[in-house]
Amino acid sequence: MPDTSDQHKDSIPFYPDHIRTEFWVTLGVLAIIILIGVAGMLAPVGIGDPADPLNTPAHVKPEWYFLALYQLLKFVPKTAGVVAPILALLLITIWPFIDRKTEKSPRPRLLRLVVVVVGLVVLIALTIWGEVS
Amino acid sequence: MRIFLLRRARLFAAIIITIGILLVISAFTRATALAGKTTVPSLPVSSLGESLIKASPVQPAILASSKLPPAPKEDLCLHCHVTGDNTGLWTPLARWVLFGSMGVIFAFGVYRSASVWKKRSPWIPIPKRLGSWVEERYQVSEPLAKFLGKPVPRYALHWWYCLGGITAFLFVVQALTGIMLAFYYKPTPEAAYASIQYIETQVFFGAAIRAIHHWAANGMIVVCIAHMLRVFIMGAYKRPRELNWVSGILLLVLTLGFGLTGYLLPWDQRAFWATTVASEIAGSIPAIGELVLVFLRVGWEVTSLTLSRFYALHIMVMPILTLGFMGAHFVMVRRQGIAKPL
């Protein structure tokens, strides 16, 4: 495992160089957070009608990050539509144990980039579709 | 000089005490002599003082015309009223000796202080002292130097390497704002909705804190997924970092779980029915679906028990798990370094 050693050819010390960069990034994120807070004072998140178990609203939707799954379930059989994402998640989890080759060329990286882009496009499309439908 | 003065310190003290006693005797004899006379010699007082003492009928006129009385000319010696006039020989002499000796002692004190100050040990800054205090007890400087001095590859400064750190920072933001919201939130169906309204309208900066918690939660999911995709594309999950990848996936699942459980807490229509739908999706998993559904809802319906369960999961179970996996994640990154970008 040569790439875990500390002896990189071109390295900077963790402190202060790396910490300084991280500090500025954190400060930038904090600025955005504070802006969100100010925006929240002007336009609060708000709250809908109180929950009523007897009154089902017309458009029942889950949170946006489950919208793709929700939309998928409209088209595929329910069991398959639920099992497939779980299996996909399991596959992603154990992926490092499946893909064990050490890379010598940038080709597999490009391949993965394409896979990610296609997957993201499908996911975003399903999410938007679920949002507008 | 110093030794001379120190050796004779007792002598000096004896002289000063003697002079003091002489002074007191002198003043006492003078006072008795004055008391022997029938008429007390009028002390030189200002005309204002005199007029006040005598309460003369002129006084109201003076006050009424608000003219200031003439300035005192005679009374220039205030302590003379205590120790007598400057007419004798012994009293002023004793006074001079007494105050002169005190002056000498004061000068000697200044000299001593100055020499002590000049011979003081060199000043150590207070942070340095604190550091040595801690170091003496816990010997932290060596591991700390090792921790801070660890070389990091220069390519780690690219922005896409910061996504994980941003996720961690957003987790801290969520923890802090979540604690703030928990001060006012009440996890029962009757009170939850009203307490959110109270946070939004009554609590100082309540709307801001809730907005930050709401939007940073969404942002955390986005940044988390971005971090994961970065690692995936670059192949940074490969040997020896397999377990780091697994812990990262678990952290993503936990983040989504935070979103799922937190969404129910306002207890409005959207929250209620979104939770109903989401738990229904979980319920359609074959074999264990019903078990998962009953575990999530605490029964077959979304009720107050569901709210309590989601609240406990959201504020206690999942933060603890997340902190554990985050710690493991960071330790592994630290141990193995940042993967080479090929």
Residues in contact with B96: Cβ distance below 8 Å, sequence separation at least 6, in sequence order: none
The series of mean pLDDT values per 10 residues for chain B, 342 residues long, is 69 86 82 63 50 49 55 63 63 85 95 92 93 94 90 87 94 97 94 95 95 96 96 91 95 95 94 91 89 93 94 96 97 89 71
The answer to whether the Cβ–Cβ distance between A63 and B274 falls below 8 Å is: yes
pLDDT for res B27: 81
Q: Are residues B308 and B162 in the same domain?
A: yes
Q: Which residues of B touch A35 (CB under 8 A)?
A: none
Q: Which residues from chain A sit within 8 angstroms of residue B235, using beta carbons?
A: 103, 108-109, 112
Is position B9 within any domain?
Answer: yes
Q: How far is A69 from chain B (nearest CA, A)?
A: 9
Q: What is the ipTM of this complex?
A: 0.91
Do B172 and B26 have their domain in common?
no
What DSSP element (H or E) covers A12?
strand A11-13
Question: Do B7 and B102 share a structural domain?
Answer: yes
Domain harbouring B223, CATH code: 1.20.810.10
C-alpha distances out from residue A45 to A4, B176, B221, B267, B278, Å: 45, 18, 18, 14, 22
Helix/strand/coil for B80: helix
* A37 in B contact zone (CB under 8 Å): yes
Question: Same domain, yes or no, for B162 and B298?
Answer: yes
How many angstroms separate the CA atoms of B46 and B64, rounded?
A: 19
**Closest CB to B278 among A62, A94, A109:** A62
| Per-residue pLDDT, B231 | 94
Cβ–Cβ < 8 Å for A66, A131: no
pLDDT score recorded for residue B84: 58
| Peptide bond between residue B286 and the one before it cis (omega within 30 degrees of 0) | no
Same domain, B102 and B205: no
Domain shared by B113 and B197, yes or no = no
Three-class secondary structure of residue B268 per DSSP: strand
B212, B260, B342: residue with CB nearest A40: B212
Whether residues B95 and B162 fall in one domain: no
pLDDT score at B8? 76
Tell me the shortest Cα–Cα distance from A125 to chain B, in angstroms: 16
The last residue of a domain, from among B68, B97, B118? B118
In-domain check, residue B46 = no
The beta-carbon neighbor of B245 closest among A44, A79, A96 is: A96
Looking at residues A109-125, what average pLDDT do you find? Answer: 94
In a domain, B137, yes or no: no
Q: Which chain A residues are Cβ-neighbours of B157 within 8 angstroms?
A: 12, 17-18, 21
What is the DSSP-derived secondary structure letter of residue B202? T
Is residue B111 domain-shared with residue B200, that is, in the same domain? no
Q: Take residue A48 and report the two structure tokens written for it.
A: 């809908």
Task: Pull the structure tokens for residue B182.
Answer: 């928990």
Chain A nearest-CA distance from B153, in A, is: 4
Looking at the complex, report in whole angstroms how far the Cα of residue B129 sits from the nearest Cα belonging to chain A: 22
Query: In chain A, which residues have their Cβ closer than 8 Å to the Cβ of B248?
Result: none
pLDDT of residue B318: 97
Q: Which domain holds residue B89?
A: 1-35+81-118
Does A100 sit within 8 Å of B277, measured CB to CB? Answer: no
**How much is the pLDDT for B68?**
61
Provide DSSP, B217-258.
HHHHHHHHHHHHHHHHHHTTTSTT-HHHHHHHHHHHHHHHHH
Is B132 within a domain? no
**A13 and B CB contact within 8 Å:** yes
**What pLDDT is recorded for position A10?**
79
Final residue in a domain of this structure, among B118, B141, B172: B118
Residues B91 and B211 in one domain: no
Q: Residue A9 and residue B143: Cα distance in Å, rounded? A: 24
Q: Do B273 and B224 lie in a common domain?
A: yes
| Pair (B29, B164) in one structural domain | no
Per-residue b/e over B232-252, b at no fewer than 16 CB within 10 Å? Answer: bbbbbbbeebbebbbbbbbbb
Could you give the number of structural domains in chain B? 2
Residue B315 in contact with residue B178, Cβ under 8 Å? yes
- Tell me if chain B has a CB within 8 Å of the CB of A50: yes
Residue B331 lies in a domain: yes
Q: What is the pLDDT of residue B38?
A: 47
Contact check, Cβ <8 Å, A44/B339: no
Largest CA distance in chain B: 123
Domain boundary among B90, B118, B146: B118
Q: Is the pLDDT of residue A99 over 60?
A: yes
Q: Any idea what DSSP says for residue A123? A: H
The DSSP symbol for A50 reads B
What are A63-86's pLDDT values in tens digits? Answer: 888 888 888 888 888 888 889 889
* Residue in A124, A89, A69, A113 with CA at minimum distance from that of residue B249: A89
Residues B86 and B234 in one domain: no
Question: Is residue B65 domain-resident?
Answer: no
Q: Do A79 and B268 touch (CB under 8 A)?
A: no
Q: Is A13 helix (H, G, I), strand (E, B) or coil?
A: strand
User: Rounded to an integer, what distance in angstroms lies between the CA atom of residue B63 and that of residue B47?
Assistant: 14
